[in-house]
């Protein structure tokens, strides 16, 4: 079997680099509040029509939360950068591809933590709709702050809150996944209730690790360039799921701009509206929808 070049580099850095995270605030041009986050210059202009809290700490809402006009306005403020994403070969997304390209109703449901929340708040599914006008795309987010599959697998949450909504594609991601086996269990529960559901496993994109330093990214517990990315890719192959490394294109885009990473953050961990659009661009390019970004 031919080894993946990124996998080799990840293993190399994993064993030769000590785990030592610097503080990105040391050379940051941005000063975050001691508590809370910086105010957004572009608050989402499409508030959810549906927003429910099935239990404390969990929320379910519909997307997209940004109009195409607002997305364009944000992109006009973005420093120029290179966004390269390895597109899916659709191996485990055949039904998704058919619904997008041939037309029909398709329901996308994203599950995860506040980082997944940043991703869906970007309005990426509106961009996807623009690229695939024959489809009728519905978006939903199921979010728990600091939440991973170790939470969603419990208390019949998948059966109660996901299965009745009948998503066609479930996106599992974020930086709060505790272990691979919890992700596997959520996959099992999804397929038990929805035999035809397709699943995309996404690595984290960012957090407190400095994207300018490969050693930090490789040791971040959520990273697609380190052991987590290796394990998640392996799980995707075993469970017939699609896989997306969001870490690499995120870091490559930021580094290509020559700007400090905090230009794209609203606090020390989370993306601002500019950072959200990088996440949107990664997802859109992954689904062969590059035209939507033009």
What DSSP state is assigned to residue 159? Answer: I
Residues 18, 215, 275, 25: is their CA dihedral positive or negative?
A: positive
Beta carbons of 174 and 112 less than 8 angstroms apart: yes
Class of domain 48-293: alpha beta
DSSP sequence for 20-42: ----GGGG-S----SSS-PPPSS
Reported confidence tier of residue 169, pLDDT bands at 50, 70, 90: very high
**7: how many CB neighbours lie within 10 A of its CB?**
14
pLDDT score, position 293: 79
* pTM: predicted TM-score of the whole model, two decimal places: 0.90
Could you report the per-residue pLDDT of 173-218, keeping only the tens digit for each? 999 999 999 999 999 999 999 999 999 999 999 888 899 999 998 8
pLDDT one-digit tens code per residue, 9-21:
443 334 344 445 5
Closest by Cα among 39, 28, 31, 74 to 280: 74
**Neighbouring-strand partners of residue 202:** 244
Q: What are 290's two structure tokens?
A: 């590059």
Three-state DSSP state, 187: helix
């Amino acid at each position: 079997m031919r080894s993946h070049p990124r996998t080799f580099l990840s293993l190399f850095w994993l064993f030769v680099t000590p785990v030592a995270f610097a503080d990105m605030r040391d050379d940051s041009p941005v000063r975050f509040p001691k508590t809370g986050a910086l105010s957004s210059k572009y608050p989402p202009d499409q508030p959810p029509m549906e927003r429910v809290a099935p239990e404390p700490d969990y929320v379910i809402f519909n997307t997209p939360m940004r109009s195409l006009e607002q997305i364009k306005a944000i992109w006009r403020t973005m420093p120029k950068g290179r966004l390269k994403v390895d597109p899916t070969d659709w191996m485990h997304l055949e039904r998704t591809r058919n619904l997008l390209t041939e037309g029909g109703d398709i329901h996308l449901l994203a599950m995860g933590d506040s980082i997944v929340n940043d991703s869906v708040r970007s309005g990426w599914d509106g961009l996807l709709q623009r690229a695939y006008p024959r489809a009728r795309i519905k978006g939903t987010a199921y979010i728990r702050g600091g939440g991973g599959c170790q939470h969603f697998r419990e208390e019949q949450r998948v059966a109660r809150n996901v299965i009745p909504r009948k998503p066609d594609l479930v996106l599992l991601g974020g930086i709060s996944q505790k272990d691979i086996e919890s992700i596997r269990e959520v996959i099992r529960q999804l397929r038990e209730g929805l035999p035809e559901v397709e699943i995309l496993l996404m690595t984290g994109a960012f957090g407190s690790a400095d994207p300018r330093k490969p050693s930090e990214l490789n040791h971040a517990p959520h990273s697609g360039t380190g052991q987590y990315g290796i394990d998640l890719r392996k799980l995707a192959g075993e469970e017939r799921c699609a896989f997306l490394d969001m870490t690499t294109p995120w870091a490559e885009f930021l580094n290509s701009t020559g700007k400090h990473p905090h230009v794209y953050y609203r606090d020390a961990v989370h993306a601002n509206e500019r950072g959200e659009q990088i996440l949107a661009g990664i997802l859109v390019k992954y689904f062969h929808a590059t035209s939507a970004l033009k």
